[in-house]
Structure 1
């Protein structure tokens, strides 16, 4: 999913996504939550995960879904105006 987000952002000619991941657990039981910023908009995963990579995959899925839905809505509005 990271790659899909990267591709859609590149296709829209936006700056690359910036990920921030924090450990909200302890050293012996880490729980990671990720945030990704795309073109000034931040998306944060609602859950925590035991692996940093899984947290980043989750937030990239959230961002990808939101961005593609927004672009579809914009395209439909454009078509309706024509």
Structure 2
């Protein structure tokens, strides 16, 4: 449905992250849990706060974003696609 959903470890819903205009294909959370990054079939990478607020939309991929990661120093986001 184009969303990323945050859940507690007990299965309680915490937040729904809306923004992707297609399928969400990859999600990563920073080691400090302060940032979430998602990649989708809409050719975007989206950056979210740890509580689910949108922070940035990164455009530039020429195809679907199938893999995302955040560096441990929180300075770099990497994405891969097709």
TM-score of the pair, normalised by structure 2: 0.32
Structure (1 or 2) with the greater strand fraction: 2
If asked which structure has higher relative contact order (CA below 8 Å, sep 6+), I would say 1
User: Quick check: which has more Rg, 1 or 2?
Assistant: 1
Structure (1 or 2) with the greater helix fraction: 1
